[in-house]
């Protein structure tokens, strides 16, 4: 699985103009299931993200994790993270898992994050979503598991 995470002060996702998920301080997690991902990948990715020390401590150093700060996660599916731009000008997405498998692994990932005690809000798989955020730092990190 692949994720792009952004440390945020706040973030929201809208579908057809209605807010379907929003958080205050925490992480916006854009996530993509890749071809060949196995059932253990969502748990590995959730654990990695929850423990990643990218939040400021009292000395203003990035020493705290999402779990340490009681921050929230806004989880949004984004198959375009699988884009292959190596040829031509039109990205290819054949490295993304098929939609049915992608949705299943996305749902599993959301459950794994919530099971770690992290408050979660979510986007809608396959929907045309509008995501807004205030990137804190900015801190943006790419993760593959």
Residues serving a catalytic function are 78-80
Q: How far from 111 is each of 23, 57, 98, 106, CA to CA, in Å?
A: 17, 28, 20, 9
Question: Is the Cβ–Cβ distance between 131 and 12 less than 8 Å?
Answer: yes
Burial class (CB in 10 A: 0-12, 13-18, 19+), 87: exposed
């Amino acid at each position: 699985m692949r994720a792009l995470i952004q440390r945020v002060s706040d973030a929201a996702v809208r579908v057809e103009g209605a807010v379907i998920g929003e958080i205050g301080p925490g992480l916006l997690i854009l996530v993509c299931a890749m071809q060949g991902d196995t059932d253990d990948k969502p748990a590995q990715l959730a654990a990695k993200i929850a423990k990643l020390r990218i939040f400021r401590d009292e000395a203003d150093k990035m020493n705290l994790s999402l779990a340490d700060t009681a921050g929230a996660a806004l989880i949004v599916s984004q198959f375009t993270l699988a884009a292959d731009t190596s040829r031509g000008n039109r990205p290819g997405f054949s490295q993304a898992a098929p939609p049915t498998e992608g949705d299943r692994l996305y749902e599993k990932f959301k459950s794994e994050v919530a099971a770690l005690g992290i408050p979660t809000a979510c986007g809608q798989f396959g929907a045309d979503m509008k995501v807004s955020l205030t990137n804190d730092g900015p801190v943006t990190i790419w993760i593959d598991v």
